[in-house]
Structure 1
Amino acid sequence: MFERSPNLDMPFIQPSQAQKHVTHNEALEYLDALVGLSVKAFDAVDPPVGAAEGERYALGVGASGDWAGQDGMLAVWANGGWLYLAPQEGWRAFGEAEQALRIYRGGQWAGLSFDQLGLGATPDAVNRLSVAAEATLLSHDGAGHQLKLNKASAGDTASLLFQSNWTGHAEMGLAGENDWSIKVSPDGSSWTTALKVEAATGHLSGSAVQGDALDATAGRLLTVGGFGLGSGAAPEVTDLDAANSGGIVSVNADAAANVPTGLSGRHAVWVAKSESDGGFQMLCDQKSDGALYLRRLDGGVWGAWQRLWGSGSLVGTVSESSGVPTGAVIEQGSGANGAFTKWADGTMICSHTLDLSFDAVHRLAADWSYPAVFATAPVVTATLDGEDLASNATPVASEVGAVGMEAMSASSARATLHRISGLTDFAASDSARVYLSAHGRWY
């Protein structure tokens, strides 16, 4: 018969043994020390002063004093002395100082560790921790809390995968690189990187971000420089008819299509949209006179450019395109045939002064070629000066029977003047001054 138990090393009562209570009490002392094992401290090396009956310590390396030479043992204060017990593989002990449970393995007391753990679920070789619950709470211990996902190298993955019925539809984290990304999938096999944050710069990319400065895909994030916002130079377009997205663009007037006539070099264009097929473009001439040009988008069709303002925009050369003004507001000119004034709305007035003599039959007549050509025959008028230009005496107006104007065409008119028959104050060579005026449109 064995004298001691194989696991706890407790003494057995032997046959015909005297004082059996001694052996029995020693075994109870072992049981009292080991059952429900709780120690005052792990890795203790200095014996306490005034230990209480039953106090237990897990000794560390370098034990001193009464514990000298007992490294790694369990020390129990019993009956006025220290009882030493050798821990065995798999023993569990609660540390009262650290409020934690440890397990003895490999010759030391280590924190609890499991190869697999399931809470309401069955773990496996890949999913070693499995939890089935309505929620999982990871809370702080007095301050903050971090959940750490660590990977071995840059090419590995540390991410959170979101599934529906075991099919992956979203993933975020470090997926095969050290840039942080969000990926989505409709079926668990084809994946799109919606957003990526570069580890080196913190800049964004991905399908949820503009691909270039003129990318107008709905739902994408606008970047610095998108449509000229926040950039040092607006993105360039080669055809202003195609610049339909609101923002600021640049154009090289020497090469681009549908720019205002006469421009050269680079210019900024503001594109504004009120609806998909309506809006306007405004261009600032940055190379010459700083003029502003405007055109409208109506029904998806761009209209002609109109010059709004700039050096020479108020008084200069008027022009039009398909009935829309494109030049200055007012244009003035003069010559041998008189003076003219044009307005941007198409109105034109021409004026002239004629000094003429009566012929032998007391009649004055002359043709007038306008200083500028009208679009159609204008309305012409004549006003007689009230003074005899020859003698500077007798009023001509009192002897004139009629003054007439006839608009013969868009480029000329005829003026006629008759003296009242029978009056003899004038000779055939007498003269008169006529003021001529023509009102019409130049387009």
Structure 2
Amino acid sequence: MMKPTRTIAALIVAAGRGSRAGDGLPKQYRRVGQSPLLAHSVAIFAGHPAISTVRVVIDPADQQLYRESVAQAATLGAPVPGGPTRQASVRAGLEALAADAPDLVLVHDAARPFVSFDLIDRALAALSVPGSLAAVPGTALVDTIKSVDAAETVTGTPARLALRAIQTPQAFDFAALLAAHRRVAGEPGFAATDDAAVMEWAGHPVRVFPGDPANVKLTYPADFAAAERLMTRTIAMNDVRIGQGYDVHAFGPGDHVWLGGVRIAHDRGVIAHSDGDVVLHALTDALLGAIADGDIGSHFPPSDPQWRGASSDRFLAHAGALIAARGGRIGNIDITVVCEAPKVGPHRDAMRARIGAILGLEAERVAIKATTSEQMGFVGRREGLAALAVATVRLPGD
């Protein structure tokens, strides 16, 4: 996986109404599999270690739907009010990012829930070519294409080999894309259906890299039915995995600890490279163990300074995104916290809700228990605290 050398932000466009999809709700808030459509894209981008910031552009009328749909990961900033067109919405998102401008930006449509880590990596690799300011994923066409007039009469047959079906995420130099959007905003009659068109208008070359045929855009009711079958894979989800994780941290100076993504007041802090959340660390390892994909240290090395003081919900979101990228589903989570203090009981429901939000999982699938060590060992001497986690994951099988 690519290691970031430049700051990278992701902008997810979710301000449309999606009326062609039917069912009343804007399509980005309809459930597909276990989660709303928007949540799938948010989980992948928030879980990618190269991406430092994720912003979502929404219709201002959808604030409540948005809050109910997304995991509030550390990388996810406040939603950005969109405009009357996709072009205006993207510009609004770029302007919101400009206050702390990234080097690169990925623009993605929320209606593409099957985006993968591999496709994101290809987008960033394509943009790393010297002099490249814009790169977009494209797939070759297999059908013959006809151009038609208003009467649906064929007017031409373009050469299929020279055509590509363009997807998102599209990758750009942030400053160049923002400048192009600002310039084109004053151009009467110009309407772009993607951001590559804005860069083309500004005179920038746009590179096409191989897209992913699975990265489909959901537009019509039949698309949602197909996505549901692909997402759930009810019959084929018979590869059941179990992973376990353990983490421990010593107490040190401080006035709070983080447990399960919840800040809890305490007379001590913990000594840790990140925020020291033993619950999320143990759970991250359990999920990684279930898919045999290393451990938290291999994905987020403590020797790397970019993870110093990092919020642990980032690590957990990454593990969840890896499972989603393999077509998997988390069945249930069982966590035991071992400490003499602080008391876990008063914060149990908040921890369950927080973990569920990070992973796009119902809180009823998250169990939190607590115990002491009967005053034995380092926990009993109040020198630190520990957590154990077990997770069940279903993957597509034969």
Higher relative helix content? 2
Higher relative strand content? 1
TM range (shorter): under 0.3
TM-score (normalised: structure 2): 0.16
Larger Rg: 1
Larger RCO of the pair (alpha carbons < 8 Å, separation 6+):
2
